[in-house]
Amino acid sequence: MCLIHAGSPVKAWVKTAGVWRGYEGEFGMKIYKQAITAVGMVILLTAVTAGYAADPTKGAKLYNQHCVDCHGTNGDGQMPGVPDFRRTQVLFKPDTVLSETIQRGKNVMPGFAGVLTRDQINDVIAYLRTLH
Ligand code: HEC
């Protein structure tokens, strides 16, 4: 979509099936606004993903405060039913899925929503991925 022509009666140019079409008036304005929103969303998403890199060192501290009692110093599990993080298939799930589970809890494991922030949980996950 081309935004340069926004000042002319044609408010938005859209390429459909290889052909550029100009849209005028209110409809053009609507498409123009949608384009701006889309661009904004991309910038926002990029900022969110790029803005925070999970830190396994901070994660280690948090792990030793909140997780070590059940999961053990090496992530090997301190009681029956606790998965062994050193067997990497336990952590084959994407960070977002692990984060959800850690926030909500699972069976015996308590949820950490409200205890740890999402960033802190991502730090801990980054640390878990170093245990093998
Ligand atoms: C009270 C003990 C306990 C504490 C504290 C605890 N966990 Fe767990 N955790 C468990 C148990 C038990 C399971 C296995 C749950 C099941 O599959 O039934 C588990 C499972 C997991 C899993 C695997 C989830 C999956 O997808 O199957 C992850 C990841 C995990 N814990 C991370 C953490 C982190 C990170 C912390 C600290 C912030 C933590 N746990 C604190 C007991 C605990």
Half-sphere exposure of 66 (CA within 13 A, CB side): 25
**Is there an atom of ligand 1 within 6 Å of 36 CB?**
no
pTM: predicted TM-score of the whole model, two decimal places:
0.71
Per domain, the residue ranges of the chain are: 4-51, 56-128
81 three-state secondary structure: coil
What dotted CATH number matches 56-128? Answer: 1.10.760.10
pLDDT in tens, the chain (132 residues): 555 555 567 777 777 777 777 777 777 677 677 776 776 666 555 555 556 799 999 999 999 999 999 999 999 998 889 999 998 788 999 999 999 999 999 999 999 999 999 999 999 999 999 997
All residues at 6 or more sequence positions from 30 whose CB lies less than 8 Å from its CB, including other chains: none
With tokens 């661009």, the residue in question is: 39
Distance between CA atoms of residues 43 and 37, nearest Å: 10
Ligand 1: residue whose CA is nearest its atom 13: 82
Ligand 1: residue whose CA is nearest its atom 10: 109
**What is the model's pLDDT at position 23?**
77
Pocket test for ligand 1, best of 58, 64, 84, 109 (most atoms within 8 A of CB): 109
Distance between CA atoms of residues 112 and 92, nearest Å: 21
